[in-house]
Amino acid sequence: MSGHSSIAPAQIRPATPADAEAVAAIYAHHVLHGTATFEIEPPEAAEIAARMAKVRAAGLPWLIAQDADGVVLGYAYAGAFHARAAYGRTCEDAIYIAHDRLGQGVGKALLAALLEACAAAGQRQMIALIAGTEPASIALHLRAGFVEAGRLASVGRKHGRWLDVVYMQRALGVGDTTAPENEPA
């Protein structure tokens, strides 16, 4: 082995309310120190639990990656891309990894599981909105079959700088090759 330590593959499972504290801690680091999220103040665990419940109530997945000892390494979820009914088969992903576990394959495992879960839930398109300052996230999504669908220049401001948002998109399941069983109402 070269000088890199390896970890056992992450175990992926559905999130539970008991995960809210660990998720809030992971997210807080990204809120305070990074540009992966445009939130400025980290939400408390109770708010994270409420967000988890809202995602689950919409029939969408919120997944946890953990190590063999049960330590939460990261999480991923899909939310509605937009609230209007016609967008009902299009979701937006979010993936956050513990800052000391980046680059170890956790994001890849979570994204693969999220894509599968969203397709199984009847979603047809997944959108990723990624800060232009996050090349690793862009690369992760490209490797998972996403394509760049557009870029909005300087639409966010955080840590004293303007931030671009890269829109990426990937079809899920049969994508747009067939109509859904039920049309939006």
In a domain, 60, yes or no: yes
Name residues whose C-beta falls within 8 Å of residue 152's C-beta, 6 or more positions apart in sequence.
164, 165, 167
Encoding tokens for residue 72?
A: 């939460």
Q: What is the pLDDT of residue 181?
A: 86
Per-residue pLDDT of 30-72, as tens digits, reads 999 999 999 999 999 999 999 999 999 999 999 999 999 999 9
43 in a domain, yes or no?
Answer: yes
CATH of the domain at 34: 3.40.630.30
Q: Is residue 20 part of a domain?
A: yes
CB 98 within 8 A of CB 72: yes
Question: CA angle 180-184-185, nearest 5°?
Answer: 145
Residue 19 lies in a domain: yes
Triad 16, 124, 129: Cα angle to 5°: 70
List pLDDT tens digits, range 84-93.
Answer: 999 999 999 9
Q: What is the DSSP letter of 10?
A: P
3-state secondary structure of 5: coil
d(CA 183, CA 78): 21
Residue 113 domain flag: yes
Q: Is residue 5 part of a domain?
A: no
pTM over 0.85: yes
| Domain ranges, residue 139 | 11-171
Split into its structural domains, the chain has a count of 1
Please state, rounded to an integer, the average pLDDT across all residues of the chain: 94
Domain contains 85: yes
User: Is residue 34 included in any domain, yes or no?
Assistant: yes
